[in-house]
């Protein structure tokens, strides 16, 4: 991967997000499972999460559409200006049509390419990186990238080791071509190691369940996680990915204006921050309010920061994520 050369640059036009109204606190969870607010806060930093009201038909499609409409309306663009829609999700209600096509229907984009992308919590950055590359090379002018996961729809609320972590949310961004080639993504990194898939999976059929998990009470369609394995992987990977991105881009940690990382667990984020000596105020955290919303998390953080006026032209912003697969990604932007 080489740094951006002469040609087109890219810029963020607008951002959007959505969280469902319904809030589930740690105390609410303690009423239905053997856990406590103290345990959850200490191990994860989470106080509450938002979840979809499935009785009202809420889920991934409504999360995705709400975030998409938010960014689209703020962009001031017309439907025909959008060339590409990517929706990152691992909780599609229907695999056909894609969630991206439902967004297309709602926005009235008649010609934009639209597809879903599955890279779990890394999905939003995979989508952002692919779209940025296609715009930079001149193939497309403007893309809408959405990350949306209704994790509550794949939670077994009798499994306390998994269900306390996740919440539902979505985030979105409109990215377009810029005449300044120095603007936009400075360096991007994406990777996967399928050997680790058994640490985080959603079995649809009995045969999907790995041998070592067959004796455990596993519900089909629900997320199964080996928390300790994922934790070890994440702590190591976050640090490696950040170090490689900064080194390859020719920037130092001190050059960063902000780091926006996937909200997996406060301890994972803090471990990377402390090891790399990143100032506390430069690392955004909202996991206490929303939990881990998988592909929704990074776009939601970006939009919250944007709305708070904390993303300014010329800032150097590092995005970093890891997720099921196992997958990982980074994207370093001069915004
Ligand atoms: N409440 C109370 N006790 C609990 C709970 C709970 N909710 N869950 C587990 N415990 C107990 C365990 O049974 C265990 O008890 P024991 O010692 O008597 O056996 C003890 O607490 C410790 O369990 P661990 O699993 O070792 O706890 P750990 O400190 O690892 O924390 C956690 C668990 C929070 C899940 C952590 O491992 C973690 O965050 N892992 C990373 C998960 C993650 O980031 N996943 C997202 C991946 S992104 C994606 O793509 C979806």
pLDDT in tens, 296-316: 999 999 999 999 999 999 999
In this prediction, residue 215 carries a pLDDT of 86
Would you call 312 a catalytic residue per the annotation? no
Ligand 1: residues whose CB is within 6 Å? Answer: 35, 39, 43-44, 120-121, 160-161, 164-165, 200, 225, 227-228, 230-231, 234, 264-265, 292, 294, 323-324
Sign of CA dihedral 225, 229, 231, 236: negative
How far is residue 248's CA from residue 243's CA, in Å, rounded to a whole number?
Answer: 9
- Ligand 1 mean position to 208 CA, how many Å? 23
Number of domains in the chain: 1
Would you call 226 a catalytic residue per the annotation? no
Shortest-distance Cα residue to atom 42 of ligand 1? 227
**Distance set, CA 201 to CA 70, 92, 132, 224, 275 (Å):** 31, 15, 29, 5, 29
Shortest-distance Cα residue to atom 5 of ligand 1? 161
**pLDDT band of 3, cuts 50, 70, 90:** low
Catalytic residue among 90, 121, 261, 301: 121
Q: Do you find a cis peptide bond into 114, omega within 30 degrees of 0?
A: no
Catalytic residue among 262, 265, 301, 306: 262
**pLDDT band of 146, cuts 50, 70, 90:** very high
Atom of ligand 1 nearest to the CA of 163: 7
Catalytic residue among 50, 292, 301, 306: 292
Which 3 state secondary structure label does DSSP give 289?
A: helix
Would you call 292 a catalytic residue per the annotation? yes
pLDDT in tens, 95-111: 999 999 999 999 999 99
Name the residue with higher pLDDT: 216 or 183: 183
How far is residue 71's CA from residue 74's CA, in Å, rounded to a whole number?
Answer: 5
- Ligand 1 mean position to 88 CA, how many Å? 26
**pLDDT, average across residues 145-162:** 96
Query: Could you tell which of 40, 154, 228 is best to mutate to test the pocket of ligand 1, judged by most ligand atoms within 8 Å of the CB?
Result: 228
- Ligand 1 mean position to 297 CA, how many Å? 20
In this prediction, residue 4 carries a pLDDT of 52
How far is residue 218's CA from residue 221's CA, in Å, rounded to a whole number?
Answer: 9
pLDDT in tens, 188-237: 999 999 999 999 999 999 999 999 888 888 999 999 999 999 999 999 99
* Mean pLDDT (the chain, rounded): 96
Tell me which residue range forms the domain holding 281.
Answer: 1-335
- Ligand 1 mean position to 295 CA, how many Å? 20
Query: To the nearest whole percent, how much of the chain has pLDDT over 90?
Result: 96
Shortest-distance Cα residue to atom 24 of ligand 1? 228
Q: Residue 1: pLDDT above 80? A: no
**pLDDT band of 5, cuts 50, 70, 90:** low
Contact assessment for residue 110 and residue 79, using Cβ atoms and an 8 Å cutoff: yes
- Ligand 1 mean position to 228 CA, how many Å? 7
**pLDDT band of 174, cuts 50, 70, 90:** very high
Report which DSSP code applies to 85.
E
CATH number, domain with residue 77:
3.40.47.10
- Ligand 1 mean position to 161 CA, how many Å? 5
**Distance set, CA 250 to CA 2, 52, 188, 243, 254 (Å):** 11, 42, 13, 11, 12
Query: Could you tell which of 118, 124, 231 is best to mutate to test the pocket of ligand 1, judged by most ligand atoms within 8 Å of the CB?
Result: 231
pLDDT in tens, 246-303: 999 999 999 999 999 999 999 999 999 999 999 999 999 999 999 999 999 999 999 9
How far is residue 316's CA from residue 299's CA, in Å, rounded to a whole number?
Answer: 17
Beta-strand relationship, 168-178 and 142-150: antiparallel
């Amino acid at each position: 991967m080489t740094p951006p050369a002469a040609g087109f640059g890219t810029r963020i036009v607008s951002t959007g997000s959505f969280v469902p109204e319904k809030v589930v606190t740690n105390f609410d969870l303690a009423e239905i499972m053997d856990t406590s607010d103290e345990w959850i806060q200490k191990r994860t930093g989470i106080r509450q999460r938002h979840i979809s009201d499935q009785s009202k038909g809420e889920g991934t499609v409504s999360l995705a559409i709400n975030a998409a409409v938010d960014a689209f309306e703020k962009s001031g663009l017309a439907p025909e200006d959008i060339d590409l829609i990517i929706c990152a999700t691992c909780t599609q209600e229907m695999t056909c049509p894609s969630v991206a096509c439902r967004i297309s229907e709602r926005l009235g984009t008649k010609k934009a390419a639209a597809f879903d992308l599955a890279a779990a919590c890394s999905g939003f950055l995979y989508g952002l990186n692919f779209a940025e590359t296609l715009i930079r090379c001149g193939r497309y002018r403007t893309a809408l990238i959405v990350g949306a996961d209704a994790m509550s729809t794949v939670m077994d609320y009798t499994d306390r080791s998994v269900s306390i972590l996740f919440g539902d949310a979505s985030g979105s961004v409109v990215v377009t071509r810029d005449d300044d080639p120095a603007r936009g993504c400075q360096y991007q990194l994406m990777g996967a190691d399928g050997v680790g898939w058994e640490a985080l999976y959603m079995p649809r059929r009995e045969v999907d369940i790995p041998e070592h998990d067959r004796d455990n009470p596993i519900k089909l369609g629900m997320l199964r996680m080996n928390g300790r394995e994922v934790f070890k992987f994440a702590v190591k990977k976050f640090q490696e990915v950040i170090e490689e991105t900064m080194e390859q881009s020719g920037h130092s940690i001190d050059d960063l204006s902000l780091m926006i990382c996937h909200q997996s667990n406060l301890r994972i984020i803090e471990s990377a921050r402390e090891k790399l000596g990143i100032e506390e105020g430069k690392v955004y955290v909202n996991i206490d309010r929303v939990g881990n919303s998988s592909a929704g998390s990074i776009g939601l953080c970006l939009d919250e920061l944007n709305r708070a006026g904390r993303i300014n032209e010329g800032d150097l912003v590092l995005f970093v994520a890891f997720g099921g697969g196992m997958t990982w990604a980074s994207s370093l932007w001069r915004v």
